[in-house]
């Protein structure tokens, strides 16, 4: 009887006794590794690649590969261990995502609402392109007549003076100071050079 109880107790304790110290093996969560085991420079390269895709949880916008914090170093050590055991990139990212959430991925995974992030810029670019093409086509259909003054601001023509005589005077003054009188319309030029202005044509 005693031996039986002891046996039962041993059976009950066996998994715990056999289990290694530490936290549960990633295999219990992820299943068997999907890639081949790695070692040497290939292992270092894969470790850096995967660690650069993980966000350091205690830093501001740094990857696990770039952060010198103790937690990031420990995370990188775990990434290395998992790469060596043959877990592929997606499995390792999924392992960390399980405990830290999607936040831990520096690249948003291509699923659900995240597609907005991936396709949004492309969509904006294409929409902009459509607008540009339409504007160019419209401009080709109705080309502006040569000498057409209706398009653009009235002041775009160098010979024109503003309607307001005071403004016209100032414009004239500026033109003269700039070194040339320009092509003036006679009537406006006369209106602009009023007798009261002493600085005119001094």
* 31-90: contacts with another protein (CB under 8 A): 57-58, 70-71, 74-75, 77-78
Question: What's 150's DSSP letter?
Answer: S
Stretch touching another protein by CB under 8 A, among 14-22, 138-146, 147-155, 182-190 = 14-22
**Between residues 125 and 170, which has the closer beta carbon with respect to another protein?**
125
Distance CA 164, CA 145 (A): 27
- Chain centroid to CA 106: how far? 12
Q: How far is the CB of 95 from another protein (least distance, A)?
A: 9
Among 1, 3, 5, 20, binds another protein (CB under 8 A): 20
How far is the CA of 155 from the CAs of 38, 148, 161, 163, 202, in angstroms? 73, 13, 7, 10, 26
Distance CA 64, CA 75 (A): 7
* DSSP reduced 3-state for 63: strand
Among 8, 9, 31, 103, binds another protein (CB under 8 A): 103
CB 113 within 8 A of CB 77: no
Q: How far is the CB of 39 from another protein (least distance, A)?
A: 20
Binding site for another protein (CB under 8 A): 16, 19-24, 28, 57-58, 70-71, 74-75, 77-78, 96-101, 103
């Amino acid at each position: 009887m005693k031996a039986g109880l002891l046996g039962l107790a041993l059976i009950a304790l066996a998994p715990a006794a056999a289990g290694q110290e530490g936290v549960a093996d990633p295999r219990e969560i992820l299943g068997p590794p999907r890639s081949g085991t790695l070692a040497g420079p290939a292992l270092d390269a894969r470790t850096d690649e995967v660690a650069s895709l993980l966000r350091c949880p205690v830093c501001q916008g740094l990857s696990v590969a770039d952060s010198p914090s103790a937690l990031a170093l420990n995370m990188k050590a775990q990434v290395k261990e998992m790469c060596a055991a043959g877990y592929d990139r997606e499995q390792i990212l999924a392992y960390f995502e399980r405990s830290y959430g999607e936040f831990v991925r520096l690249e948003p995974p291509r699923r659900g609402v995240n597609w907005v992030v991936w396709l949004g810029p492309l969509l904006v670019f294409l929409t902009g392109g459509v607008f540009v093409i339409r504007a160019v086509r419209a401009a080709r259909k109705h080309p502006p007549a040569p000498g057409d003054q209706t398009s653009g601001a009235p002041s775009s023509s160098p010979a024109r003076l503003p309607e307001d005589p005071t403004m016209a005077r100032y414009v004239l003054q500026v033109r003269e100071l700039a070194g040339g009188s320009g092509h003036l319309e006679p009537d406006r030029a006369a209106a602009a050079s009023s007798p009261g202005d002493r600085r005119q044509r001094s």
